[in-house]
Amino acid sequence: MIRKATLADRPRITEVRHAVRENRLSPASVAKVDTTADWIFANAAFWVWEEAGAVQGFAVADPRDGTIFGLFIHPDYEGRGIARALLPLACEDLRAAGFAEAALTTDPGTRAERFYRANGWREAGRRDNGEIVFRKPL
């Protein structure tokens, strides 16, 4: 089932975020990610996939800057089309906020890089830290 998260889902969302094997959260980013998540819970939406009584994945956009803030699927639930189902909802939030294009960054050589390329995202450059910047028209 896909639904919007409530604050009660936040601990499990954090658990899923920390369960991934790639694009892991660097300790230096934890505080910034927490602050952004605070804002999104108050003003926008985390879209979650619930199965077996728990959130197993989520997609979330930041409608302040046109980015996909996160797309994370628990490793036990990968490869079943859950990201493909969730990501359009986060993209729709950006479109509804007035953006014509979405952007995100991801580590090179990851499953996520292959996923985005296969789903119509185009590389728009690299950051100094090597992350790939992807963009997609909405």
Ligand X SMILES: CC(C)(COP(=O)(O)OP(=O)(O)OC[C@H]1O[C@@H](n2cnc3c(N)ncnc32)[C@H](O)[C@@H]1OP(=O)(O)O)[C@@H](O)C(=O)NCCC(=O)NCCS
Residues that bind ligand X (CB under 6 A): 20, 22-23, 71-73, 78-84, 104, 106, 110-112, 114-115, 118
Closest distance to ligand X from the beta carbon of 85 (Å): 7
The answer to whether 16 and 54 have CB atoms below 8 angstroms apart is no
Nearer to ligand X, 44 or 73 (CB): 73
Nearer to ligand X, 52 or 118 (CB): 118
Nearer to ligand X, 73 or 94 (CB): 73
Nearer to ligand X, 17 or 45 (CB): 17
CA dihedral (132, 121, 39, 37) positive or negative: negative
Closest distance to ligand X from the beta carbon of 127 (Å): 13
Dist CA 61 CA 105 (whole Å): 12
Closest distance to ligand X from the beta carbon of 8 (Å): 22
Dist CA 90 CA 2 (whole Å): 12
